[in-house]
Amino acid sequence: MKAKLLILLILMLSFSTLFSDVVNYDKVIRNLKGVKSYEKEDFENSERNFKRNAIKYPKDSRLHFNQANAQVKNGLLEEAEQNYKLALNNEKFKDRSKALQNLGNVKFLQKDYKNAIKNYRDALVENPQNLDARYNYELTARMLQRQQEQKQQQEQNKEDNDDKDEEKDEQKQDEKQKSQEQKLKEQKKEDAEKMLKALLQKEKEEMKKEKEKMNVDRTKTGKYW
């Protein structure tokens, strides 16, 4: 079920059109090359062309936006996040809603659902008609709820395991104490038996001496009765 939900996430990676009052031929051609490479799924070359453009024209938010889209495809999520933010630094950037949505997608892919929801919400503030951002917002809200439930379950399991470990420790302490008490009892019993044997042995020796003494006295007197 989770895999299906992930697949349903709408990655709105459309490109920003490069038109301005003064059209720069070099900028437009390089951007078109990047778009064509992207469409051919040659994301490395695509990102390379967009990057060259963004470095040469750092104030053009549309170039950072396109570069970020290619970086997402290349798995460069942290770099993509930075470029989306650079694009959003321009308050007049007309694709702010899409950039915020794509930034939300990056956070979603990083499983940072809380910040993903924030970005989708901001995208809807910029453009309430952005249905893709609304869909992703609702999907991510469910994912966040599931993530929180799993976290709570893990914490509960940890507490239960800790309690069990504590019980085991107490049980071990009890068993150890009982074992020590048993050993002490056995030691006392052994000591008592040794003492009793010693007393019996002493008594036998005294009786033997007494008997020998009586025999000696009889020999001297010649009386045996």
pLDDT value of residue 225: 45
d(CA 98, CA 96): 5
pLDDT value of residue 22: 43
Residue ending a domain, among 94, 123, 147, is 147
Cα angle, residue 222 at apex, residues 219 and 223 outer, rounded to 5°: 105
Residues 30 and 140 in one domain: yes
DSSP string, 60-98: -HHHHHHHHHHHHHTT-HHHHHHHHHHHHT-TT-TTHHH
Residues 138 and 194 in one domain: no
Residues 123 and 212 in one domain: no
Residues 99 and 141 in one domain: yes
Residues 200 and 123 in one domain: no
Q: Is 67 exposed, middle or buried, given 0-12, 13-18 or 19+ CB atoms closer than 10 A?
A: buried
Give the model confidence (pLDDT) of 47-71 as tens digits.
999 999 899 899 899 999 999 999 9
Q: What is the reported pTM?
A: 0.63
Structural domain boundaries enclosing 216: 179-225
Residues 183 and 113 in one domain: no
pLDDT at 168 over 80: no
Residues 12 and 79 in one domain: yes
Number of domains observed in the structure of the chain: 2
Would residue 208 count as lying in a domain? yes
Q: What is the mean pLDDT of the chain?
A: 82
Residue ending a domain, among 128, 147, 166, is 147
pLDDT value of residue 224: 43
For residue 4, how far is the Cα from the chain centroid? 23
Would residue 165 count as lying in a domain? no
pLDDT at 164 over 80: no
For residue 212, how far is the Cα from the chain centroid? 89
Residues 23 and 84 in one domain: yes
The domain that holds 105 is classified in CATH as: 1.25.40.10
